[in-house]
Amino acid sequence: MRSARARAAAVCLALALGTPGCGLVDSLTPFGVGTRDYASEVSGENVNGLWAGNTASGGNVSFQVGSDVVSKFILHHVADGCTLEFDASDITPPVVDGVFTIEKNIDSGGKFVVTGTFTSSTTASGSYFFNSLTAGGCPTAGTGTFTANKQF
C-alpha cells in the first residue's frame, strides 16, 4: 500500500514540476499566463498596445488593441477650419488577419466608417469616411486616411 502511495506522489510531483516526457503539463497553461492573441498578430508579432498617429487632414488618431479587439478609437478630421471628432470608443471591433472595421451610426442619421490595417507589428494605416453630419458651417461629409504607430 505504501509503495502505491509513493508512486502516486512521485507522479503528482513529476506532473507539477513539468518533468520531460509528461505531455500533460506541457499542454496546460493557467488562465492569463502565457496566453497569446493570435488574431492580433502580424507576421507572428503581436499588435496589442496603445496606438497613436495622424490623419492626412492634420488631425489625430488614437486607439488601443488587446485581446483581439480595437477599443477607445478616437479620430479628428480637420477641414475648412473645423475639427470634427469621431469617438467610437464604445465600439470594440475584432482584429481579423490584421484588419479591423468600425461602423458607427451618427445621431443625425449619418455614419462614420473606418477600416484599419496593421502593416507591421508597429505600424498601421487606414481610411475613413463620414456622411450626413449636421455640423453648422463645417463639412457634412468627407473621407480621409490615417497612419498610426504603436506607442507601447
Q: How far apart are CA 141 and CA 55, in angstroms?
A: 16
Same domain as 49, residue 27 = no
Same domain as 18, residue 69 = no
Same domain as 76, residue 47 = yes
Place of cell 458651417: 137
Is the per-residue pLDDT at 135 higher than 90?
Answer: no
Same domain as 61, residue 133 = yes
Going by pLDDT thresholds of 50, 70 and 90, the confidence category of residue 24 is: very low
Residues forming a β-bridge with 127: 115, 145
> 35 near 28, Cβ under 8 Å?
no
Same domain as 81, residue 105 = yes
Residue type, 91: I
Same domain as 102, residue 66 = yes
Number of structural domains, the chain? 2
> Whole-model pTM?
0.71
Same domain as 118, residue 87 = yes
Model pLDDT for residues 26-81, shown as the tens digit of each residue: 333 333 333 444 455 666 678 999 999 999 999 999 999 998 899 999 999 999 88
> 78 near 59, Cβ under 8 Å?
yes
Same domain as 45, residue 23 = no
Place of cell 490595417: 117
Same domain as 28, residue 52 = no
Same domain as 112, residue 56 = yes
Q: How far apart are CA 22 and CA 10, in angstroms?
A: 12
Is the per-residue pLDDT at 5 higher than 90?
Answer: no
Q: What is the model's pLDDT at position 133?
A: 77
What is the overall mean pLDDT for the chain? 78
Q: Which domain holds residue 9?
A: 1-35
Same domain as 89, residue 26 = no
Same domain as 10, residue 44 = no
